[in-house]
Structure 1
Amino acid sequence: MLDNLPPHPEPSRDTGVAMSAVRAAEVAGRLAAETESLRRLHPEAMRAVLDAGFARHFVPVEHGGRAGNFEELTRAVVTLGESCTATAWCASLAANLARMAAYLPAQGRKDVWDEGPDTLVVGSLSPFGTAQRAPGGYRLTGRWPYISGVDFADWALLCGTLTGDGAPVPLVFAVPRAEFEVVESWDSVGMSGTGSNTVAVDRLLVPAERTFLRADLLSGRPTDSEAPCHTVPLEAANGLSFAAPLLGAARGTQRAWTEHVAAKTAALAGRTGAPGPSRASYADTLARSVAEIDSAQLLLERCAAVADRGAAVTRLERTRNLRDCAYAVELLVSAVDRFFRTAGTSGQLTDRPIQRFWRDVNSGSTHIALQFEAAAGAYAEQRL
C-alpha cells in the first residue's frame, strides 16, 4: 500500500512509461542489492515504478489511465530489468494486473480506481480459491501463493472456482487490501526481491460488481472497453509479462560481464603465463550470448506488435506468441548461463551483479507461462 512508500515529491506528469523507466531504472539499480536482502522491493524502488506510470499504463482512459500498448511497456520493462530484475518483474505485473482489472463491471472499476490510476493491483489467475453464492455477491475462501509486490498492494485480483449448481466456473474477484491477509512465505534463491508472498481470505463477502468471468479475460471480452490492450486474448499477451523482465536481466548481465572481463583482462595484461581464458574464448562467449539475446529481443518485439492488434489477433498468432515467449526465455537462459560460467570465480562473488542476474533469470524462467512444451503443443495444434 502507498502508506509504505516515501512521500510523493510532486504530482506525476505523464511523459510516457518508456521514457520514465530510465529514471526508475537508476533508482532500482542503486537499490537492487538492498531489495534482494529485504525479499521485497525497496519502498523507493516501488515509488519509482508508480511514478514512472507502470500501474496506470493499461488503465482505461475514463479512469485516468493511458490504455497503452504492449510495445512501449515491453521496452520500459526491459530498461528496468537491466538494473533490477525483481523491480522489472513487479512493474510488469503492476501494468498487466491493472489491465485485467479493466474487465470488472463499471462499479467495480470505479471502486478500484476511486483514488486515481496509480492504484497498485496484484493478483493471481490460478484458481486457488473456492466461492459460493451469497446475498449481494459471493463468499470467497482460499490461499494464493506467489503474489509479487503484494506488500505494497491496494487491491488484489484473486481467482476462485464458483461451486454449487451446475459446472464449476472460475471467477476473478477484486479484493481491497484491508480485506485480505498477507502471509510471509517468500524466500527464494532467485527473484528474491519480488516479495511474492501468499494472500489468504476466509469466507470473505465479495460484491457481485467486483467480479468477472476468467473466461472473458482469456478470450478478450471486456465489459466496456474497445481498446486493443483490453480486447486482446490473454494467450497473446501473457508471456510478455514474464519474458520482458528476463530480457532486461540478460542485457544487464551482458553489460556487467563486459565490464568485468575488460577489467580482468586489463589487470592480467603483460603477465606471462597468467591463468584464464584467452581473448578468443571471451570473444566467442560475447558473440554467442549477444546473438541469443538479440534473437530473443526480436521475438518479443514481434509478440508485442501482435498483442497490440487486440481483438484482431488470430488463434495461430496467439499460440505463436506463447511459443515465442517461451523460446525467447530459453535463449536468454542459455546466454546468461554462458556469461556466468566464463566470468570466473571473481565474477561470481556475491557483491557482483552477474550472480544475481544469473539466479534471477534461471528462477524466473521456471514460471508456468514460459514453459516451452505446453506452448509447443498449443502451437502445433494450429499447424498439424
Structure 2
Amino acid sequence: MLHAPQSPLLPAARAMAPLAAEHSAAAEERRRLHPAVAEALIAAGFPRHFAPDLPDRSPGTFTGLVEAVAALGEGCASAAWVASVTASAGRLTAHLPEQGRAAVWEKGEGTVVAAGLMPSGTARRVPGGWRVRGEWAYISGVDFAGWTLLAARTEEAGRPNVRVFAVPRADHTVVDAWFVIGMRGTGSHTVVLDEDVVVPDERSVPLAAILRGRPAAADAPCHRMPLKAGNGLTLTAPLLGAARGALGRWRELTGAKLAAPGGAISDGPGPVPYEQAFSRAEGELDAVELLLGRAAGVVDRGGVTSVETARNARDCALAAERLATVVDGLLRTAGTRAQSEAEALQRHWRDVNCGAGHSGLQWAPAASTYARLAGAVGR
C-alpha cells in the first residue's frame, strides 16, 4: 500500500472496481468506457482530483491518485487509465490564465478534461487569440470530456513555439480511430479542429510553462512540479492495477493444476513449483509499488529537483518493463485456457503490454537522461 488514507479516491475506486470489471468486455467491444463506468469515474472524483480553484476543496496528491488508480485497474485497466489521465489533464489547467481556468471549470466538479500534448496541430495569431487547426491522435477519454487541451505549433516574435489550447467539446470533432490490441476501452480516439476554431488568449499557455511546472497562481505541490516528474506515475499506476488483477486471476486458473501430483506448473524447460512462481510475481509487484510510492512522495513533498525528475521518469519506465515481464510469465504458465478471448488474464496481459509501450514509459531515453543528470556519464 502507498498509505494515503486521507484520500477519498481509494474507497471510491474500490467500490467502482467491480462495476468496471463487469463492463470491461463491453468497453473492449465498444472501444470506449460504458456510460455507467464513466459516470462512476466522475462521481468518484478522478477528473477533479488535481483541479485548481474549486470551492471548498484542495488539490489532491499523487500518492492518493496512484493508489486509487491501481485499485481500479485490478478490475479494468481501461477505466483506470482514463481515470488517471483525466486527473492529469485536469492538473494541467492550473497553468492557464485565471479567466481560462474559470471557463474550463465553470460547471464545477463534474468537469472532465482530456489532453493531447503532442504538437500535432498549428495555430496562427488573430485578434484576441489563435486560430487553431489539426488532428490529434490517442486522446483517451475524449468521448465524455467537456474540454480538451491540445498542443499546436506557433510562431511568436519570429521564432517557432508550441502552445497548449483549451478547447470545448462543441468546437472539435471526434473521429473513431482507436483500433489497438490492448487498452481498447480507453476510447483514445482522434480529435480534429478545422480553421474556423479561434481560441482566445486566456485559454492558451506555452507548452514550456507546463513542462517547467511553475504556474503563477497555484501553490499546491501537484501543480508546481515539472511535467516529467509525475507524468510517468499517471501512466504506470493503471498497469500496476492490471498486473495485480492478472496475478489474482492466475491464482484462480492454476488452482486446478495444484491438485495434480507434485503441485507444479510448467514454465520453460522444466517444472517450477507454484510457490516460486507466485512469490516471484508478487514480489515484483511489491517492488514496483515501492518505486511508484517513492516517486509519488517526491512530487507530493514539493521542490522537485531536475535529478529527482529524471529519476522518477527512470523508475516509472523501469516499473513498466517489470510489469510487462510479470504478466508475460503469468500468461505463459496459466495454460491454454488463459488465452481464451473471453479470459480476463489475457485481457490484463494485453492491457499491460499496450500501456507499457507508451512513449512516456520508454526505458532508453529515461535511463540516458537520468545517467547524464546524475553525473554517471560524460556530457
Alignment TM-score, normalising by the size of structure 2: 0.93
- 2:132 and 2:50 map into 1 onto residues whose CA distance is 27
1:115-154 to 2 correspondences below 5 Å: 115-154=107-146
Q: Which residue of 1 aligns with 2:308?
A: 317
SS at match of 1:163: strand
Please list the CA deviations of residues 338-380 of structure 1 after superposition, one character each: whole Å capped at 9, or x if unmatched: 0000011012212211000000111110101100100011101
Name which of 329, 334, 358 aligns with 2:320: 329
- 2:256 and 2:55 map into 1 onto residues whose CA distance is 50
Return closer, same or farther for 1:55/1:259 CA change in 2, 3 Å cut-off: same
- 2:45 and 2:265 map into 1 onto residues whose CA distance is 48
Return closer, same or farther for 1:136/1:231 CA change in 2, 3 Å cut-off: same
Q: Indicate conservation of the 8 Å contact 1:58/1:65, yes or no.
A: no
Question: What is the aligned length?
Answer: 367
- Partner letter of residue 35 of structure 1? A
Q: Indicate conservation of the 8 Å contact 2:265/2:273, yes or no.
A: no
Name which of 73, 77, 95 aligns with 1:85: 77
Q: Indicate conservation of the 8 Å contact 2:239/2:320, yes or no.
A: yes
Name which of 244, 258, 281 aligns with 1:265: 258
Deviates more, 1:187-196 or 1:216-225: 216-225
SS at match of 2:273: helix
Return closer, same or farther for 1:64/1:116 CA change in 2, 3 Å cut-off: farther
Q: Which residue of 2 aligns with 1:4?
A: none
Please list the CA deviations of residues 242-285 of structure 1 after superposition, one character each: whole Å capped at 9, or x if unmatched: 0000000010001000111113434x4699xx996798433222
Q: Which residue of 2 aligns with 1:228?
A: 221
Please list the CA deviations of residues 10-65 of structure 1 after superposition, one character each: whole Å capped at 9, or x if unmatched: xxxx9711121111212111111111111101111111111111011101244565
Please list the CA deviations of residues 127-154 of structure 1 after superposition, one character each: whole Å capped at 9, or x if unmatched: 1111100011000011000001111110
- 1:381 and 1:293 map into 2 onto residues whose CA distance is 28
Question: Does residue 213 of structure 2 align to residue 253 of structure 1?
Answer: no
Q: Indicate conservation of the 8 Å contact 1:182/1:197, yes or no.
A: yes
Unaligned residue ranges in structure 1 (runs of 5+): 1-13
Please list the CA deviations of residues 314-361 of structure 1 after superposition, one character each: whole Å capped at 9, or x if unmatched: 111010000000001111011110000001101221221100000011
- Partner letter of residue 92 of structure 1? S
Q: Which residue of 1 aligns with 2:3?
A: none
- Partner letter of residue 72 of structure 2? L
- 2:295 and 2:25 map into 1 onto residues whose CA distance is 31
1:41-80 to 2 correspondences below 5 Å: 41-63=33-55, 65-80=57-72
Q: Which residue of 1 aligns with 2:336?
A: 345
- 2:362 and 2:14 map into 1 onto residues whose CA distance is 30
- Partner letter of residue 247 of structure 2? Q
Question: Does residue 192 of structure 2 align to residue 200 of structure 1?
Answer: yes
- Partner letter of residue 215 of structure 2? P
- 2:262 and 2:280 map into 1 onto residues whose CA distance is 27
Return closer, same or farther for 1:64/1:99 CA change in 2, 3 Å cut-off: farther
Q: Indicate conservation of the 8 Å contact 1:17/1:54, yes or no.
A: yes
Q: Indicate conservation of the 8 Å contact 2:246/2:345, yes or no.
A: yes
- Partner letter of residue 20 of structure 2? A
Structure 1's consecutive aligned runs of 4 or more residues displaced over 2 angstroms after TM superposition are 61-66, 263-266, 268-271, 274-284
SS at match of 1:128: strand
Unaligned residue ranges in structure 2 (runs of 5+): 1-5
- 2:221 and 2:31 map into 1 onto residues whose CA distance is 35
Question: Does residue 127 of structure 2 align to residue 110 of structure 1?
Answer: no
- Partner letter of residue 307 of structure 1? V
Give the CA RMSD over aligned residues: 1.9
> 1:309 deviation in Å?
2.2
Question: Does residue 180 of structure 2 align to residue 157 of structure 1?
Answer: no
- 2:235 and 2:250 map into 1 onto residues whose CA distance is 23
Q: Which residue of 1 aligns with 2:165?
A: 173
Question: Does residue 11 of structure 2 align to residue 16 of structure 1?
Answer: no
- Partner letter of residue 250 of structure 1? A
Q: Which residue of 2 aligns with 1:209?
A: 202
- 1:147 and 1:359 map into 2 onto residues whose CA distance is 19
SS at match of 2:223: helix
Return closer, same or farther for 1:319/1:15 CA change in 2, 3 Å cut-off: closer
